[in-house]
Amino acid sequence: APAPAPAPAPSSSRSRSSSRSSSKLLSKSSSRSSPSSSSQLSPSSITSMNMKAVYLKHRIKGKPQRCRLMVGENVPNHKTEVLEDGVKFKIHLGSTYSNGLFLDQKNSRKKMVSLLSELSKTRQKPLRVLNTFCHTCSYSVHAAKHGALTTNVDISEEYLRWGKENFELNNISWKEHEFIAADVMTVPDQLKSTTYDLIILDPPSFIGSKENEGLNTLDQQFPVMVSRLAKLLSTGGYIMAFCHLKAIPTEQWLSSLPLEEEGLKLVEILHQDNDFRYEEGDEEHG
């Protein structure tokens, strides 16, 4: 199991003195999947909990991924909408990989909103947010609801279209925001004339080429991504960086990042909330 994360450092927007200094927010998170027993659920039990249905997603290492309706009414086309802190998202309950919203990042999205609120007190509006590996743009929709302009980068055009739908679902014109279908590693060169107040770096654990193991590839590429994105960060801005590989201890991950070289400093570590806490033995699920 990963080594326990160190205590959170005091949050600050000030950095060490240098020709180009900025603050940095780092987070390590790891998803947890807990298989449930269908014997514990029945139509009457979910009705008493004001639920229509329960879907079970199997993501067990070495076995095919699958998703099925356990109990209740089948949602039409497995698609529905959810509400998170006043923001709506479209989700697909039948998807074997992602239903469109990673619930383990809910508290991180709240943290991002609080950082934007803090930055808005001393900066010219609108604030600019760069969301890399943006998936369906959940961070960006929250940021846009609070007045920020967002640049969304993902290699999947399908997820970017889904992200635009999330903007529309919240009555936000996605045309006022930027969507780039590209490899995140190439984007800093395209955006080098722009600086951002806040950057989201949330790569999936399987990033990399087919020839390399996910752990080795992400472990090697993460410091490079931080270095390249730091050059797009405005002075006093934040990078929220996430590592979803349970096999990398927190201290090892932090020590690999080029903080001093890029004029960055660790501001705070965001811990996993109780719904997705990591425990020894969870390596078989996730």
Least confident of 18-32, 80-94, 179-193, 222-236: 18-32
The DSSP string of the chain is -PPPPPPPPPP-S---SSSS---EEEEE---------GGG--HHHHHHTT-SEEEEEE-BTTS--EEEEEEEPPPGGGEEEEEETTEEEEEETT-SS--S--GGGHHHHHHHHHHHHHHHTTSPSSPEEEEET-TTTHHHHHHHHTT-EEEEEES-HHHHHHHHHHHHHTT--GGGSEEEES-GGGHHHHTTT--EEEEEE---TT-S-TTS-HHHHHHHHHHHHHHHHHTTEEEEEEEEEEE--TTS-HHHHHHHS-TTTTT--EEEEEPPPGGG---TTGGGB-
The burial of 12, by beta-carbon neighbours within 10 Å (0-12 exposed, 13-18 middle, 19 or more buried), is given as exposed
pLDDT mean over 152-166: 96
Q: How far apart are CA 134 and CA 8, in angstroms?
A: 26
The burial of 62, by beta-carbon neighbours within 10 Å (0-12 exposed, 13-18 middle, 19 or more buried), is given as exposed
Q: Say yes or no to pLDDT of 24 above 80.
A: no
- For residue 218, what pLDDT band results from cuts at 50, 70 and 90? confident
CA dihedral 194, 112, 28, 228 (to 10 degrees): 0
Q: How far apart are CA 208 and CA 221, in angstroms?
A: 8
Q: Say yes or no to pLDDT of 227 above 90.
A: yes
Amino acid identity, residue 271? H
Q: How far apart are CA 142 and CA 84, in angstroms?
A: 9
- For residue 104, what pLDDT band results from cuts at 50, 70 and 90? confident
Encode burial over 79-103: b for 16+ CB neighbours within 10 A, e otherwise: eeeeeeeebebbbbbbeeeebbbbe
The predicted-structure confidence for 131-157, as pLDDT tens digits, reads as follows 999 999 999 999 999 999 999 999 999
- For residue 34, what pLDDT band results from cuts at 50, 70 and 90? very low
The predicted structure's pLDDT at residue 282: 53
Q: How far apart are CA 272 and CA 183, in angstroms?
A: 28
Note the pTM of the prediction, 2 decimals: 0.78
CA dihedral 227, 273, 87, 92 (to 10 degrees): 90
The predicted structure's pLDDT at residue 130: 98
Which residues pair with residue 180 across a beta bridge?
153
